Amino acid sequence: MLDAAETGPARTALRRTPPTWLVVVLACAGQFLVILDVSVVNVALPSMRAGLDLGPHGLQWVVNAYAIAFAGFMLLGGRAGDLYGRKRMFLVGLGLFTLASLGGGLAQEGWQLLVARAVQGLGAAVLSPSTLTLLTAAVPEGPARARAIGTWTAVGAGGGAAGGLVGGLLVDALSWRWVLLINVPVGVVVLAAALLWLAESRTGERRRLDLPGAVLVTAGLATLAYGISQTEVAGWTAPGTVVPLLAGPVLIGLFFAVEVRTAAPLMPPRLLRMRSVASANAAMFVCGSSMFCMWFFMTLYVQNVLGYSPLEAGLALMPSSLAVLLGSKLAPRLMRVLGERAVAVLGTVVAVAGFGWQSTMRMDAAYLTAIMIPGVLMMLGAGLAMTPLAAVATAGAGAGDAGLVSGLVNTSRTMGGSLGLAVMSTIAAARSGGSGAPEALTEGYAAVFRTAAVVLAVGAVLMWVWLPAGRRSTAMAAAGQVNLRG
């Protein structure tokens, strides 16, 4: 049940607790929009370039402006929800996101689109942590919460998976502007429902944010993300890449040094000393570094090598999208029997099998064996692994740190995915020798999937050694009759 932690006029708004299913629906809707916009613009980029006369670097920043703002402000958004109210931050984040979507869809100049995408990323960074904390505050710990987190994970994964298909449909039927404008009516509906039905919750004393820590961690993450984005433009050894890649970790190191000496830190050092939080986030980073790449390189493979259209590519990957949903919904059932660690390792091993199979791709392979079956294995494993990792991380912290830990989970996954994509793109380019011939491209993509399989295998060992073993299994089994209310 949501905590009634406000005082004064806000207390009146807390008297009516919304049904749990409605909280879950609204939280998942917000997360779906956030993750969808990471991928939905990809198929619209050529049309954006033609419509706004964007150069190659400007086109890349349509994607990077969103990703850098998203990753850089995530921890700040999570802590703000803990201190100033999860509902309030949900509304602020979704409002920014919706307005920026409108501005981007109506942009007449390239710089206007880039500014809109950066503001979208900022709104997403405020919105995303609050979606998970609203959900975990509304659903009691146990099987019900595991199922709710599974739904949240599945919807987020589905948003990433559906991006290519949704973008292709909108661009073909309408124009590139609608990959952004479609967020506006959806955002308005979710905003109205959240304003009417969500109850406010926050924990801890209302106090000022740790501004020095907030500036350092935001600057550090944004600088690191910028350096990662530059690897594909300028290469790994260019000054424009090396300087931010070195400066980012230095700023993050200064952030931790400041946090040790701050009375009310943005990131309490005790959290990272907790085995559950540290291990789950490390595992999330490793998994994100490989699993995030799947959609990108599979889309390139089916279009550049097998000759599919953007819409056909989206349809070809639909079984994979359904598999990640299945894995996310199946995970809570397995967690009650096997425990979180075993399910996370099982999912990662299944994904390793899929990535290994995909690395055998050929120029003339059949759909069933070259796309569908390995894709299903990769994404079934992703769905099985991500749900227990999110559950372990969020259960390991107190209620007052729930928003911060949720932001940390999303930051780990996002930064892992960004770094992984940059590294894998470099591997693909090196293996293909810069050639655009189908045979060379196939060799490059295959090398990516082999590398990802190795990384995930190492991640499975990391999880087995470091994640808490069966920490919540007994409690979850005892609470086996708890269901989502409402």
- Final residue of a domain: which of 201, 220, 253? 201
Residue 57 class from Cβ within 10 Å (0-12 exposed, 13-18 middle, 19+ buried)? exposed
Task: Check whether residue 39 and residue 95 sit in a common domain.
Answer: yes
Answer yes or no: do 243 and 307 share one domain: no
442 touches 305 (CB < 8 A): yes
User: CA-CA-CA-CA torsion for 113, 153, 458, 398, nearest 10 degrees?
Assistant: 100
What one-letter code names the amino acid at 278? A
From the CA atom positions of the chain, what is the Rg in Å? 21
Is residue 8 in some structural domain? no
Which residue in 411, 405, 390, 397 sits closest to 79, CA to CA? 405
**Alpha-carbon distance 421 to 228, whole Å?**
9
82/170 same-domain check: yes
Residue 146 lies in a domain: yes
Same domain? For 239 and 136 the reply is no
Cα 96 to chain centroid distance, Å, stands at: 18
How far is it, in rounded angstroms, from Cα 381 to Cα 242? 34
Kindly state whether residue 3 falls inside one of the protein's structural domains. Answer: no
Examine residue 2 and state whether it is found in any structural domain, yes or no: no
Widest CA span in the chain: 68
Domain stops at, among 201, 224, 257: 201
Rounded to whole angstroms, the Cα distance separating 93 from 5 reads 21
Same domain as 245, residue 190: no
Query: Would you say residue 177 lies in a domain?
Result: yes
* Cβ atoms < 10 Å from Cβ of 399: 16
CA distance 482 to 140: 8
Question: Of 252, 239, 210, 190, whose CA–CA distance to 82 is shortest?
Answer: 210
State the Cα–Cα distance between residues 177 and 102, nearest whole angstrom. Answer: 9
Per-residue CA distances from 188 to 13, 174, 450, 474 (Å) = 21, 21, 43, 42
Does residue 10 fall inside a structural domain? Answer: no
5 assigned to some structural domain = no
Within this chain, do residues 174 and 56 fall inside the same structural domain, yes or no? yes
User: What single DSSP character describes residue 369?
Assistant: I
Q: In this structure, are residues 295 and 316 in contact, taking their beta carbons and an 8 Å threshold?
A: no
Q: Are residues 300 and 428 in the same domain?
A: yes
Q: Are residues 230 and 325 in the same domain?
A: no
* 162 domain-assigned: yes
Q: Residue 67 has what DSSP assignment?
A: H
* List of the chain residues with pLDDT < 70: 1-18, 39, 43, 55-60, 140-142, 156-158, 160-161, 164, 201-208, 232, 310, 396-404, 407, 470-486
Going by C-beta distance under 8 Å and a sequence separation of 6 or more, which residues neighbour residue 242? 227, 236
296/254 same-domain check: no
CA distances from 187 to 123, 158, 175, 311, 463 (A): 12, 18, 20, 25, 37
Q: Mark whether 313 and 452 lie in a shared domain.
A: yes
Indicate the residue among 230, 246, 265 that finishes a domain: 265
H/E segment holding residue 455:
helix 438-466
Torsion of CA 349, 350, 354, 359, to 10 degrees: 10
Measure the CA–CA gap between 118 and 103, rounded to whole angstroms. 11
**Rounded Cα gap, residues 227 and 224, in angstroms:** 5
Nearest-5° angle of CA 393, CA 398, CA 401? 80
| Pair 283, 396: CB distance under 8 Å | no
**Domains: count for the chain:** 3
My answer on whether 176 and 224 are in the same domain is: no
Identify the domain containing residue 466 by its residue range. Answer: 274-480
- Give the CATH number, domain containing residue 116: 1.20.1250.20
Angle between helices 275-300 and 143-173 (to 10 degrees): 30
Measuring CA to CA, which residue among 201, 242, 200 is closest to residue 223? 242
* Rounded-to-integer distance, Cα 79 and Cα 75, Å: 6
Clarify whether residues 21 and 59 are in a common domain: yes
